[in-house]
Chains A and B, each alone.
Chain A
């Protein structure tokens, strides 16, 4: 593999890599939803400080995180201007029909902040948790829904396989792009019409290979006696260690402190 993709797992070692996926996922869930419950300035600063500390602990390279943020640039851009122009309140600037309010500026900035937080926390989670651990965590968190008849293990299996093939397909896309480039298509053309014309030579081969791979994988699984995920057991069981307990306590304490600050403010 020759690329570091946004949100890809990197098998280095850090304090965060060694944590139980359930703890990490719980913390991620808490810290991406907290800003909605605690929009005050002081609680926001505390959340940010915590996320910065966690980012440092994850040993994630800053460039990779910035690139991950880059993927949501346009979403953030439109969200910001949508809130900027449509929120009623105290007038800041008026240009003809377009009015910008203080409230608009503030809520636009808030949206950007929430989006960035979501992306960074998500990136750190996937950066420090292997796909199989992630799937294991999802399974643990969704287990209650199995009682309602949801095929949780099968869904997690699908998720695991999908995650497993993401880098494979990026390699494949890279290879096909180069091969067609060598046959004279201009992959980097700025002209959108030309780029659209490149769609078929790029994606037909990729779909063909995806279907072939899916079929091969299915055959390989059946050859090994796979009959659905229900009767499967796991080689590695998730066990909470003292470290996980400590981490959970810290996360809870920070979470409570945020709520506390919000109440006081």
Chain B
């Protein structure tokens, strides 16, 4: 599905003393199958933007088109397009309400009006995608699970609707390192298998470097950068200006370069950084 955000403006509580402009003219286009990261300091409008893409907010000005149809419209066509967008909010486990994991995950598919047999297939599939053992889990009470497991159940409940666009708003917040890696690996595997669109809102530069191919940087409700993940995340000046950190590997490579090494600075995963340093080291040795 093609997502077109055009000159989007969003003002919260307009006309009151609490009026706040969260988005000030944002334009972004996301094609089918893209893996896009949304990065920006707290309050930059990231969550507002993704809620618009899911059609949950009405723009103050501008519009969002999902395959050419305005997302917030209250027509049958628009509603069908919205259903193809799955959004997992920050701390999605807060939305859990059912008595069993199965029923929780089945809630979305049932709302889609699917047959019970199809619902059951999807629930099992979704639990598998997030790495939960269906036979053990499906009859358990979700509120008795650990935080990480609840997060996975909540995520499965979105995946079970089989959206064409999956939006994850800081999916790893509050998880331990192993939980983070586990969740992201699952999401990545899902994306590789299905080839569908993934939009990942995150503060973690390493996460973005690993999962997405393109990054949109928001600051103060505006897009200040949009491009390949390598280019954006190695632009230290841009990131610092936006009040963000530079990925540690990039910082390390830049320090090496300042010390006179000839290294590329657009390597941001630990393994590729190590390879780059090793290459530069061999060059130095060769010259010596």
Contact = CB atoms under 8 A, between A and B. Distances in A.
Interface of A: 1-4, 10, 12, 61, 63-64, 172, 175-176, 178-185, 188, 200-201, 204-205, 208-209
Contacts of A63: 15-16
A182 B86 contact: yes
12 contacts: A2-B18, A3-B12, A4-B18, A10-B16, A175-B89, A179-B89, A181-B56, A182-B87, A182-B158, A183-B157, A205-B94, A208-B143
Given A183-B161, A184-B83, A10 B17 contact: yes
B97 A183 contact: no
Contacts of B56: 178, 181-182
Nearest to B17: A10
Interface string B56-98: 1000000000000000001000000001011101001011110
A73 B15 CA distance: 22
B108 A61 contact: no
B54 A182 contact: yes
B83 A205 contact: no
Contacts of A176: 94-95
A87 to B, nearest CB: 40
Contacts of A179: 87, 89, 92, 94-95
B257 interface: no
B28 interface: no
Nearest to B95: A179
Chain B interface mostly: mixed
A208 B83 CA distance: 27
Interface of B: 12-13, 15-18, 20, 51, 54, 56, 74, 83, 85-87, 89, 92, 94-97, 107-108, 111-112, 143, 157-158, 161
A205 B150 CA distance: 13
Contacts of A188: 74
Q: Which of B13, B74, B97 counts the most A-chain CB atoms under 10 A from its CB? A: B97
A175 B157 contact: no
Contacts of B157: 183
Contacts of A181: 56
A210 to B, nearest CB: 11
B97 A205 contact: yes
B112 A184 contact: yes
Contacts of A12: 17
Given A10-B18, A64-B16, A204 B97 contact: yes
Q: Which of A1, A172, A179, A201 counts the most B-chain CB atoms under 10 A from its CB? A: A179
Contacts of A1: 13, 18
Contacts of A208: 94, 96-97, 143
Contacts of B111: 183-185
A10 B17 CA distance: 7
B95 A180 contact: yes
Contacts of B12: 2-3
Given A200-B97, A204-B97, 18 more contacts: A2-B18, A3-B12, A4-B13, A63-B15, A179-B87, A179-B94, A180-B95, A182-B85, A182-B158, A183-B161, A188-B74, A201-B95, A201-B97, A201-B107, A205-B97, A208-B94, A208-B97, A208-B143
Contacts of B18: 1-4, 10
B151 to A, nearest CB: 13
Nearest to B22: A2
